[in-house]
A and B are shown apart, each in its own frame.
Chain A
Amino acid sequence: MKKFRPDVDAPEYKGGHAPYDIIKEGTIALVVVALLTVIFATVFGSPDETQVTIKTWSTAMPVDFATTALSELNGTSGTAGYGPPYNHASTGQQIGPLKLAQWVGVRIPLNPTKDFVINPLASLPPSQPLSSSLSAWTSASAGTRSSWVGAYTKVSSKMAFTSGHVVVPSANDGPLPVMIDSLTQMARSGALDQALVTGHGFYTTDFTRVLLFLSDGSYLANKADAQHLTGEQWGMMNETGGYPGQAWLWLYTFWYQAPPFASSGNADALVWGLMMVLSLGLLAVPFIPGLRTIPRKSKVYRLIWREHYRGQA
């Protein structure tokens, strides 16, 4: 006779049967769940925090907006230094020797200088002094542009928003003051929101560029911080307004709070790698000695089938 493996094989059941109305049970479950849904929806509702736009951001924090625009030009923004799938600025995150993002490559190409600053400005109706500034930028060599951006970056710590304009102390920064101020004016009018989403034509459902630009600034993050949504606040599983959110992501979010992930530059790749391994482990529980033994050893099943065991006693 084949050896009986208690964590793999099931004993033959020779006991009795009881009436079971599967349709009635399903109907009752559906009615109860529907009622609970209506009750929760009536009592608690659902959150709907208004979306952030480039216009609201640049109106509330014009200097932060202008500084972010500058960071797209001098390559210090999150997007400018991101790497794949947007650009080649870095190798992206990796799990040990596995450079998955780099191997897949740049599939959503994005040039922050052109896509976030130059092209939107070029879409505005021609006017002075912006037209000459753009012309100067376009015709300048890479070295000249770099020196202008460097000079503007040096004085940007004293940037201010005065009388409706972005102003910085004078420097040898060429067309930069006009370009940054014009982009800020464009943003405050709402035109930059449209310029960033209509890159693929009249109809669009792709908000990649505008969301990346928004996330490079501080406004979105400040708002999220106030709503306890940042990474250090178990953000991914939370929702605005104290709602339960995606509570089922607790384990995924937990790893971001724990060392070594909390301080790693490769935290995302490592946490995703770990979660993939754990998910495969969950999938393969029936085949993993030890894990599949816990249910029998823990004897929790005696609680579940207490009627059955009481009948046997």
Chain B
Amino acid sequence: MSTEQIDRQWTTRLRKRVAGKLPPEKMLPDTQPAYVASWIYVFGVATLAALGVVIATGCLLAIRGPQWWHQSYIGHFVNSMHLWSVEIFFFAMVVHLWGKYFMAAWRGGRSLTWMTGVVLFLTSIATAFTGYASQTNFDSQWITTQAKDGINSTGAGAYFNVLNLGQMLMWHIVLLPLAAVALTGLHVVLVRLKGVVPPFEENATVGTPS
């Protein structure tokens, strides 16, 4: 097989494209611009860490099924960890979002990074909601019977039936987490591709194009 043939392969072309756009030193940098020196930057990585704990505790709950935590002390403790990791996740994510807003982090061609972050925030809200709807206790009964009116009023309730436990559980543990993890991956790759947005320069006249 000739080198030219190999170069034309989809695999070779994709590898070269990825390596060109995102070389290892860019994906896993060992230095950062000096302005990346504020506690606000911690909340992005804290959100990622909390997502990891949310997924891990969710997987532990999945092992014995959706009603295990009502009958077992250990199950209840795992459920508590799942709940509190979600609370930490949202706290970190909201602080991260406000921080990025006040940095105007979309500047310099980073608008897609901002937009994937917002979609991820909304996806996370839907994921958390379906979790609350899947608790199989009084909270889930009340939350779903109240939430149905809002969703039904948009017409979406005809297909996204919050009173259908099986549907809510599948969205909570399969569809929405897949979307959230995929969006997180895309968001992180975009951050690594574009780098961290530089500070405002009041008198700047030269910049990176949008």
Contacts and interface: CB of A to CB of B under 8 A. Distances in A.
Interface of A: 1-2, 4-13, 15-23, 25-26, 29-30, 32-34, 36-38, 40-42, 44-52, 84-85, 92-93, 100-101, 103-108, 204-208, 211-212, 214-215, 220, 223-224, 229, 231, 235-236, 239-240, 243-249, 266, 268-269, 271-273, 279, 282-283, 285-287, 292, 295-296, 298, 300-301, 304-309, 311
B35 A104 contact: no
B163 A211 contact: yes
A33 B53 contact: yes
Contacts of A101: 152-155, 157-158
Nearest to A216: B145
A33 B85 contact: yes
A224 B139 CA distance: 9
Contacts of A272: 150-151, 153-154
**Closest 10 CB pairs between A and B?**
A205-B166, A10-B108, A107-B158, A286-B106, A41-B80, A9-B207, A104-B155, A40-B84, A269-B153, A100-B155
Contact of A308 (B34, B83, B143): B34
A29 B106 CA distance: 25
Given A10-B207, A235-B146, A239-B139, A207 B164 contact: yes
Most chain A CB atoms below 10 A, which of B69, B107, B132: B107
Contact of A8 (B69, B107, B152): B107
Contacts of B69: 48
A243 B115 CA distance: 31
8 contacts: A37-B50, A38-B81, A44-B80, A45-B80, A92-B153, A207-B164, A268-B152, A304-B40
Nearest to B166: A205
Interface string B77-88: 101111111011
Given A23-B28, A108-B158, A229-B142, A287 B111 contact: yes
Contacts of A285: 101, 106, 114, 118
B65 interface: no
Contact of A9 (B42, B102, B107): B107
Nearest to B69: A48
A20 B29 contact: yes
B30 A48 contact: no
Nearest to B206: A12
B136 interface: yes
A305 B154 contact: no
Contact of B208 (A12, A32, A40, A311): A12
Nearest to A40: B84
A51 B88 contact: no
Interface stretch (B9-17, B121-129, B177-185): B121-129
B84 to A, nearest CB: 4
Contacts of A20: 29-32, 36
B207 A283 contact: no
Interface in B20-64: 28-38, 40, 42, 45-46, 48-50, 52-53, 57
A22 B28 contact: yes
Contact of A48 (B76, B114, B150): B76
B30 A34 contact: no
Contacts of B53: 30, 33-34, 37
A48 B107 CA distance: 45
Interface in B138-195: 138-147, 149-159, 161, 163-167, 169
B163 A105 contact: no
A52 B136 CA distance: 10
A207 B66 CA distance: 15
Contacts of A42: 77, 80
Contacts of B81: 37-38, 41
Contacts of A214: 141, 145
B34 A17 contact: yes
Given A272-B153, A285-B114, A18 B31 contact: yes
A104 B164 contact: no
B137 to A, nearest CB: 5
Nearest to B93: A248
A47 to B, nearest CB: 7
